[in-house]
Amino acid sequence: MRDDTLLAALAAAEEDRIVFDLTGIEERYASLLEELPGVRVRFALKACPVDEVLDCLARKGSGVDAASVQEIRQAVGAGVPADRIHYGNTIKSDADIAEAYRLGIRDFATDTVEDVTAIAAHAPGSRVFCRLATDGGGALWGLSRKFGCSAEDAVAVLERARDAGLEPAGLSVHVGSQQMTAEAWQRAFEQLVDLLGLLGRRGTALRYVNLGGGLPALGYLDRRGEPLDPPLDKMFAVIREGMQHCRDAGGPLDFVVEPGRYLVADHGAVRAHVSRLTRRHTETGEQQFWLYLSCGKFNGLYEMDALQYRLVFPGHQGGPSVPATVAGPSCDSDDAYPGGHGLVQVPEAVASGDPVWVLSSGAYAVSYMTQGFNGFAPLPWTCVRRTEGER
């Protein structure tokens, strides 16, 4: 991963901010198309609702997976054609459906007959994609309860859509966010292949399969501080094979993917600073170190409860270090890596005000940020691009 531009921007930043490397994001997008040729990409805008990021991906041909009317408005305002915007949230009100339709959206995700009835009433003639439930196994965030339906319900949903004048266009799945196993994709394709065959026997031929998100970022650490190291090559091999199995079962099909963190996480980073490195003693006399940063769960690092980010302490390489619990600045006990896990080796010499670089934090840093919890303001962001001479 080429990150010289990102690191240079972090080094140049004198105040806290998020930095996005647009060139790196574009290269990750290109590598996705090389691995899955012919797929249609719909960037999961919720992962990084930054106009500059949206614009650079749209210029490369990406569409958008939108979770709300506001995200649809943002995508349309950024120049993304409405026919490349998928309303991917299965939860939406009548007013949401009507407004999306007014904005030109014709692709809707669904997983209930009640939602199909509402789409037929407020977005007549639209295409619907029925989302199947997955078990979420192997993912840091399984997404297994709130979304998706059984195969039996999917048949009812798609047949109701056809009877209501909608186009039963496709099936969709989501194997869980930051999926760490190829086996999860295998299980999802087994579901898809079985259901495509069943639908075909019942006279319903689909045009699309939407494989959702789940492709992992590569730069995270686990709670022991070790690289997560997802088997990305194996995942892509399983996906390519599964796509062919789906075509064998369901005839000619186009495939859609909705990556979010895979595209942006490793090409965004936070420039924060040290508030304090402290030490305490427990009731048993054990010494504990705590590193308090200017940035935490509520202003950029919301996902710190499930993973560790790589921390870089510029100017402090090579000296003695201590194992510390990392926490944000707020007066909230949730604003820390989980207790008993996530000790990070921290240079013993760090002082208040020293810069800290939080790598691979480009996903969900902006979208999960509060508007000033405890008075700590949201971080601004900067987008950088590699010059021709650096390529």
Residues in the chain: 391
pLDDT tens sequence across 343-382: 899 999 999 999 999 999 999 999 998 888 999 889 999 9
Task: Output the pLDDT for position 114.
Answer: 97
- List 48, 130, 149, 331, catalytic entry: 331
The answer to whether residue 391 scores a pLDDT higher than 70 is no
Least confident of 140-144, 237-241, 246-250: 140-144
Task: Output the pLDDT for position 129.
Answer: 98
Task: Output the pLDDT for position 117.
Answer: 98
Q: 48: exposed, middle or buried (C-beta count within 10 Å: 0-12, 13-18, 19+)?
A: buried
Average pLDDT over residues 185-192: 97
The answer to whether residue 224 scores a pLDDT higher than 80 is no
Task: Output the pLDDT for position 23.
Answer: 97
The rounded percent of the chain whose pLDDT value lies above 90 is 83
Q: 153: exposed, middle or buried (C-beta count within 10 Å: 0-12, 13-18, 19+)?
A: middle
The answer to whether residue 187 scores a pLDDT higher than 50 is yes
pLDDT tens sequence across 14-59: 999 999 999 999 999 999 999 999 999 999 999 999 999 999 999 9
Least confident of 148-152, 221-225, 272-276, 333-337: 221-225
The answer to whether residue 262 scores a pLDDT higher than 50 is yes
Place of tokens 């339906």: 149
Place of tokens 């650490």: 221
- Residue 367 per-residue DSSP state: T
The answer to whether residue 173 scores a pLDDT higher than 80 is yes
- Residue 149 per-residue DSSP state: B
- Residue 123 per-residue DSSP state: S
Average pLDDT over residues 167-179: 96
pLDDT tens sequence across 47-95: 999 999 999 999 999 999 999 999 999 999 999 999 999 999 999 999 9
Residue 224's CB: how many other CB atoms inside 10 A? 9
Pick from 258, 254, 213: which is nearest to 64 by CA?
A: 258
56 an active-site residue? no
Least confident of 134-143, 232-241, 249-258: 134-143
Name all domains of the chain by residue range, CATH numbers in brackets: 21-265 (3.20.20.10), 266-390 (2.40.37.10)
Average pLDDT over residues 205-224: 93
Q: How confident is the model at residue 339 (pLDDT cuts 50, 70, 90)?
A: low
Q: How confident is the model at residue 11 (pLDDT cuts 50, 70, 90)?
A: very high
Pick from 145, 50, 36, 65: which is nearest to 364 by CA?
A: 50
Task: Output the pLDDT for position 317.
Answer: 84
Pick from 163, 96, 107, 102: which is nearest to 130 by CA?
A: 107
Task: Output the pLDDT for position 342.
Answer: 67
Least confident of 166-170, 253-257, 259-263, 329-333: 329-333
The answer to whether residue 1 scores a pLDDT higher than 50 is no
Average pLDDT over residues 222-247: 92
DSSP sequence for 9-55:
HHHH--S-EEEEEHHHHHHHHHHHHHHSTTPEEEEEGGG---HHHHH
Determine the Cα angle at 273 with ends 218 and 225, to 5°.
35
pLDDT tens sequence across 296-333: 999 999 998 888 899 999 989 888 999 999 999 999 98
